[in-house]
Every structure is written in structure tokens, then in C-alpha cells.
Amino acid sequence: MNSPRLLLTVGLILLFLGWIIHLLIIMRVIPSTFTLNFLTWIFSMSGLFLGFIGAALWGKMRKR
């Protein structure tokens, strides 16, 4: 997991997955449960953190 591009890609996928599941819950396609809401929150937060880490590593590599 040292590749910044991989971290950014996984982070982006997790962010979109969390967003899409939230959207489906709001549209009442998927029933809203505590577990599903917590899981989408985890997807969003982990995607955000992986994206920040990937962007920081990318900037560090480009600075050299």
C-alpha cells in the first residue's frame, strides 16, 4: 500500500460507495438500519482518510 495512486483510487471508491448507499437509503430503495448507516459512515470516513494519505504521499513523491 505504498502507492499513492492506489490509496487515492481505493479512497475514491469508498467515498462513492458510501455516497451511493446513502442516496439509495434517502430514496427508500434500501431500508435504513443502524448497521447500514454505520457501515456507510465507515466507508465515507475511511475513503476520506485514505484519500488524504494518498494525496500527501503523492505530494511528497512529486516534491523530490
The predicted model gives 29-42 an average pLDDT of 96
Does residue 4 contact residue 58 with C-beta atoms inside 8 Å?
yes
pLDDT at 1 over 60: no
- What pLDDT is attached to residue 60? 86
Q: Is the pLDDT of residue 36 over 90?
A: yes
Give 61's Cβ-side CA count (13 Å radius): 10
**DSSP reduced 3-state for 27:** coil
- The predicted-structure confidence for 9-34, as pLDDT tens digits, reads as follows 999 999 999 999 999 999 999 999 99
Cα–Cα distance, 4 to 32 (Å, whole number): 34
- Between 60 and 10, residue with greater pLDDT: 10
pLDDT, mean over the chain: 93
Residue with cell 465507515: 42
